[in-house]
C-alpha cells in the first residue's frame, strides 16, 4: 500500500516537472514575443498561467 502511494506521488511530481519544462520550452522557442515584453502582456511566457495550454 505504501509502495503504491509513493509511486503515485512520484508519477505526479514527474508529470508536474514535465509540464513546467514544456511550458518553458514553449515560451523560449515557439512564442514570437520580444524578450523585453512583460509577462502580463504576453500570457504564453508567464510560467504561472495555464491559459496558454487551452
Full-model pTM: 0.54
Q: What is the pLDDT of residue 11?
A: 96
Q: What is the pLDDT of residue 8?
A: 96
What does the alpha-carbon distance between residue 17 and residue 9 come to, in Å, rounded to a whole number? 12
Alpha helices in 1-54 (DSSP H): 2-29
Q: What is the pLDDT of residue 15?
A: 96
Residues 1-54 have pLDDT tens digits of 999 999 999 999 999 999 999 988 887 887 766 666 665 665 555 555 555 544
Q: What three-state secondary structure class fits 50? A: coil
What does the alpha-carbon distance between residue 50 and residue 26 come to, in Å, rounded to a whole number? 12
Identify the residue whose cell numbers are 524578450.
35
What does the alpha-carbon distance between residue 18 and residue 27 come to, in Å, rounded to a whole number? 14
Q: What is the pLDDT of residue 54?
A: 46
Amino acid at each position: 500500500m505504501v509502495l503504491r502511494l509513493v509511486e503515485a506521488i512520484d508519477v505526479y511530481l514527474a508529470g508536474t516537472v514535465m509540464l513546467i519544462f514544456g511550458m518553458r520550452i514553449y515560451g523560449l522557442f515557439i512564442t514570437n514575443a520580444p524578450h523585453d515584453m512583460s509577462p502580463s502582456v504576453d500570457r504564453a511566457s508567464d510560467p504561472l498561467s495555464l491559459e496558454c495550454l487551452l
